[in-house]
Amino acid sequence: MGSEPGDEVVVVGGGVIGLTTAVVLAESGRRVRLWTRDPVERTTSAVAGALWWPYRIEPVVSAREWALHSLGVYEELAARPGLTGVRMVEGVLGETDLDEAGGWAGARLPGLRAATTQEYGGTGLWARLPLIDMRAHLPWLRERLLAAGGVVETRAVTGLAEAGAPVVVNCTGLGARDLVPDASVRPVRGQLVVVENPGIRTWLVSTDPVSGEMAYFFPQPGRLVLGGTAQEDSWAAEPDPAVAEAIVRRCAALRPEIAGARVLEHRVGLRPARDAVRLEREELPDGRLLVHNYGHGGAGVTVAWGCAREAARLASR
């Protein structure tokens, strides 16, 4: 049985939000075309350190619901890490206490506990969380979309009206600033240093309580990803050598063996931040339907599947 014309959906945006949304729509029986300005390997999502945890995202209650749904998906995908890029890895969330996190996540994360003083010098949580290798995960999502009958088209758009389908889903991230337009979308610059892994098998996220500076490291296959920064309203896309040195220094203060690790790569990504995620439907004057799904900041990977499920529901006529 073929799809009806009204079943056609164009998803604009090829990062993790757009890809995941397109997969959910295609696997529900919709005819999906994904428009992406850049190949998925060159999107902002490709830069992500990609630890599952709702980081700087509003509204909090909805974000936790989206995150917990996504957690269930990632736990299943972790059974095939070489294919999906998803692994369950232990580590410490610094400056987070059990009372705060246990209330919403404790039932789903039975191993969640306070970190010992040997594991972390301050208040922290020991957790086993999904850690996603975006080099593998984004191409896997693209292949899953294609297997479901979706089409991926590399094309830049200057306005959402260019997508003439009955239903358009806007997953353009930072691009929504101009395409909607929505001036409330702003960049939060993240810089990473990728080094050879000196044997570290757990991840760590730490925030200096005085300066607010972050330090984190994530063991990914064949490398260790070091971070990080959260520079509000910075459009600088090139790595800053001084910032890179500071990242390595902060991470080495937590794990001294990082100091001598050979640098493999420097990366910069501009997180698409907004005061609150925009996940809603808009009826256009011509009768078409526009669904917005953007503004996830640094938590896109964390909430991708939950937001995709909601966006697919909103895209139903």
Alpha helices for 78-175 (secondary structure H): 81-84, 98-105, 134-147
Torsion angles phi and psi, residue 211, rounded to 5: -85, -20
Q: What is the residue type of 70?
A: S
3-state secondary structure of 48: coil
Which residues on neighbouring strands pair with residue 167, listed in sequence order? 9, 289
> In what side-by-side order are the strands of the sheet with 289-294?
151-154, 31-36, 8-12, 167-170, 289-294, 278-283
Instruction: Please tell me whether 271 is known to bind a ligand.
Output: yes
CA atoms of 24 and 33, how far apart (whole Å): 12
Q: What is the residue type of 142?
A: R
CA atoms of 75 and 72, how far apart (whole Å): 5
Residue found by looking up tokens 């499920």 in the block: 309
Q: Which two tokens stand for residue 135?
A: 């080099």
Distance between start and end Cα atoms, the chain: 20
Residue found by looking up tokens 């063996």 in the block: 257
Instruction: Please tell me whether 302 is known to bind a ligand.
Output: yes
Cis peptide before 228 (omega within 30 of 0): yes
Instruction: Please tell me whether 300 is known to bind a ligand.
Output: yes
Instruction: Please tell me whether 120 is known to bind a ligand.
Output: no
Instruction: Please tell me whether 216 is known to bind a ligand.
Output: yes
**Contact predicate 123/97, CB 8 Å:** yes
Q: Which two tokens stand for residue 173?
A: 């991230």
Instruction: Please tell me whether 207 is known to bind a ligand.
Output: no
Q: Which residues carry a binding-site annotation for FAD?
A: 44-45, 172, 297-302
Q: Which residues are annotated as a binding site?
A: 44-45, 172, 216, 271, 297-302
**Binding region for D-dopa:** 216, 271, 298
